[in-house]
Structure 1
């Protein structure tokens, strides 16, 4: 049984609600500065990556405007990060209706990561999987800081 476009968006929205609760669970200082070991990034940097990928894919797929930039590099407060999260989601919600279900199967060379041809649905799945991966890292960071992560099953 295939998932509809609307079901996919609801799944993505549920994941984002959980990711936002993960951001909210952090105190501001560790959100931007804590790493459990050298070579890892703070959770805020992972969140910014999530936003960049979502914005780039949505604009590319919906508008055929393929640009991978970081308009969030100056974010340095939790409030600013949460505001950026909402702005990116709002743009996604606005652009989503313009993407036809048929457009999901469109194949195009990957303009960002050099991974060859991909269907647009695979780009969306990558964005969702990337978010899940980094949220899992955020959960581990929270536990290492002695903070209980948000309930995973509440979306």
Structure 2
């Protein structure tokens, strides 16, 4: 039986989500700033994916196992402890982009950042744009329609 993806695009309003979910005022401000930046860099409006991910654009993936689905091209989640940034494509040519990012932790599928002031926004932009390019080259991507 095919596994159903939990992370799908929803109709929840992004602003309502931030205002109701994010308690810390600095994180709320950083969230709205990230939305502005990621919208500008990606060319897509923010959409909610699952209960807590704010995504921009979408791409379709298909694994050799047959599992497939859609995910945001780039995105983030303003989790309680830190932001989860879904912005990195781990390729040899992209590894150097992390050198100038600033204070972060690397997870399996995301980058963890406590607050925007801990990172270099120019480096963040380069990582986001490299990820958009990677998704465009490797998947059926909404960025093809741009």
Compute the TM-score of the two structures, normalised by the length of structure 2.
Answer: 0.29
Compute the TM-score of the two structures, normalised by the length of structure 1.
Answer: 0.27
User: Rg larger in 1 or in 2?
Assistant: 1
Greater relative contact order, per chain length (Cα 8 Å cut-off, separation 6+): 1
